[in-house]
Amino acid sequence: MTNPVTAPDPSLRAAAHARSDAQAKPLGALGRLETLGAWLAACQGVNPPAPLTDVRVVVFAGDHGVAARGVSAYPTAVTLAMVHGILDGHAGISALARSVGATVSLYDLGVDGLTGVPDEVTRFHVHPARPISDEDALTADELQAALAAGDQIAAEAIADGAQLLIAGDLGIGNTTPSAALVAATLGLRGGDVAGSGTGVDAAGLARKADAINAALDRVGDRAADPLQRLAALGSADIAAATGFMMGAARRGIPVVVDGLIASAEALMAEELAPGASAWMVAGHASTEPGCALAQRRLHLAPILDLEMRLGEGTGAVLAVPILEASGAALRDIAALADLS
Ligand SMILES: O=C(O)c1ccc[n+]([C@@H]2O[C@H](COP(=O)([O-])O)[C@@H](O)[C@H]2O)c1
Ligand SMILES: Cc1cc2nc[nH]c2cc1C
């Protein structure tokens, strides 16, 4: 789907602010909750916004060749183990999504050695991303296929009634390509964006900054083009999640952005579909430095800061009750003039 992105309805946003201003509270007393509620009304095209009864997390899982460079604290096999953990409903995202009433699904966009799972999960199967420090992660055709897969996943969820979408991520090594994309987009270097990810030590952090710099130097001026940047420095799972966010924005469905990986995807979605970030809120501030850099570039202020760095969509789902509360405030607080 290549339709341009239309902005969330400004008249509904203004109407929501007017409603809020007339409510039984000092003007502006609900702070950012008022802005969030007005954003939700503008996205839904309804004031006050409807309750959020269908929130979906889609986890895009994939392995990353750059992990062989010693940039993660965990072995690649953990990706496969965690795919099963999520499919069986026992992962961090399973528990946290259940706690807020969101559903979780997962797609394999390059998990090494994945077998014995439903066909639906492997429908968009591709090879793990090639190591970005040495070669492009994806060919141009592979990139287009991954973007299209994410768009299709968004389209199907929306056709099935999704009101709010979250892209979760899973893949040992994925903080390295994500940080590289942030660096390439913002004109930064590895040392500016590399964080400890799953918990690498100082030597691992230095290897990570080096791997990012090697990738940036290898790609050079090609990184100026967002499609080439994503193919060279990203991966199929990151590209599919980017396509998913673009697909949501083009269809007028809001997105809650998770941590570093999702923020890098949001950055790429905005580059490829200008205006897409108007359909996004940042659920939380991950501890990864690249996360704040990407969110700041997108003018997305995180709702929560719980010092989390798990990924999977966990920080984003925790922000859903706050968003829901912003809608409830608009719906249920009386007008001051009606109280006597
Ligand atoms: O979302 C984040 O900000 C985040 C920060 C650190 C780690 N992660 C998760 O940890 C994995 C990547 O970490 P690493 O160290 O292997 O690059 C991957 O599975 C991510 O989902 C996620
Ligand atoms: C155990 C584990 C779970 C994860 N979930 C997302 N990334 C992860 C990385 C590790 C290491």
**Residue 278 falls inside a structural domain:** yes
Amino acid at 19: R
CB 311 within 8 A of CB 285: no
What is the model's pLDDT at position 1? Answer: 58
For the whole model, what pTM was predicted?
0.98
The yes-or-no verdict on residue 72 having pLDDT over 80 is: yes
Q: How far is the CA of 158 from the centre of ligand 1 (A)?
A: 27
> What average pLDDT does this structure show over 134-154?
98
**Residue 173 falls inside a structural domain:** yes
CATH number at residue 334: 1.10.1610.10
Question: Do 186 and 88 reside in the same domain of the chain?
Answer: yes
> What average pLDDT does this structure show over 89-112?
98
The yes-or-no verdict on residue 2 having pLDDT over 80 is: no
Rounded distance, CA 311 to CA 238, Å?
13
Q: Which residues are designated catalytic?
A: 312
> What average pLDDT does this structure show over 102-113?
98
What is the model's pLDDT at position 3? Answer: 79
> What average pLDDT does this structure show over 248-272?
98
Question: Do 26 and 90 reside in the same domain of the chain?
Answer: no
Q: How far is the CA of 52 from the centre of ligand 2 (A)?
A: 28
Strand 103-108 and strand 164-170: pairing?
unpaired
Instruction: Give yes or no for residue 193 CB within 6 A of ligand 2.
Output: no
CATH number at residue 122: 3.40.50.10210
Question: Do 36 and 135 reside in the same domain of the chain?
Answer: no
**Pick from 24, 305, 314, 310: nearest CA to 171:** 310
Render pLDDT for 191-210 as a digit per residue (tens, 0 to 9).
999 999 999 999 999 999 99
Instruction: Give yes or no for residue 312 CB within 6 A of ligand 2.
Output: yes
Q: For the complex shown, is ipTM > 0.90? A: yes
Render pLDDT for 113-142 as a digit per residue (tens, 0 to 9).
999 999 999 999 999 999 999 999 999 999
For residue 93, the ligand closest to its alpha carbon is 2
> What average pLDDT does this structure show over 204-232?
98
What is the model's pLDDT at position 340? Answer: 77
Question: Do 155 and 213 reside in the same domain of the chain?
Answer: yes
- The pair of three-digit structure tokens given for residue 172, joined into one six-digit string: 């040992």
Question: Do 167 and 88 reside in the same domain of the chain?
Answer: yes
| Tally of domains in the chain | 2
- The pair of three-digit structure tokens given for residue 119, joined into one six-digit string: 């066909």
CB 63 within 8 A of CB 83: no
Ligand 1 atom with minimal separation from the 258 CA = 1
Task: Say what percent of the chain tops pLDDT 90.
Answer: 99
The yes-or-no verdict on residue 336 having pLDDT over 80 is: yes
**Residue 2 falls inside a structural domain:** no
**Residue 23 falls inside a structural domain:** yes
CB 315 within 8 A of CB 57: no
Question: Do 197 and 213 reside in the same domain of the chain?
Answer: yes
**Residue 4 falls inside a structural domain:** no
For residue 172, the ligand closest to its alpha carbon is 1
> What average pLDDT does this structure show over 262-279?
98
**Residue 285 falls inside a structural domain:** yes
Write out the residue range of the structural domain in which residue 311 sits.
55-321
**Residue 1 falls inside a structural domain:** no
* Residue bearing tokens 């592979």: 142
**Residue 3 falls inside a structural domain:** no
Ligand 1 atom 7, closest CA: 197
Q: How far is CA 273 from CA 1, 95, 103, 148, 199, in A?
A: 11, 33, 27, 13, 33
Question: Do 61 and 127 reside in the same domain of the chain?
Answer: yes
Instruction: Give yes or no for residue 247 CB within 6 A of ligand 2.
Output: no
Question: Residue by residue, what is the 3-state secondary structure of the chain?
Answer: CCCCCCCCCHHHHHHHHHHHHCECCCCCCCCHHHHHHHHHHHHHCCCCCCCCCCEEEEEEECCEHHHHHCCCCCCCHHHHHHHHHHHCCCCHHHHHHHHHCCEEEEEECCCCCCCCCCHHHHCCCCCCECCCCCCCCCCHHHHHHHHHHHHHHHHHHHHCCCCEEEEEEECCCCHHHHHHHHHHHHCCCHHHHCCCCCCCCHHHHHHHHHHHHHHHHHHHHHHHCHHHHHHHHCCHHHHHHHHHHHHHHHCCCCEEECCHHHHHHHHHHHHHCCCHHHHEEECECCCCHHHHHHHHHCCCCCCECCCCCCCCCHHHHHHHHHHHHHHHHHHHCCEHHHCC
Question: Do 217 and 96 reside in the same domain of the chain?
Answer: yes
Question: Do 33 and 170 reside in the same domain of the chain?
Answer: no
How many residues comprise the chain?
A: 340
CB 314 within 8 A of CB 96: yes
Lowest pLDDT segment from 1-10, 79-88, 250-259: 1-10
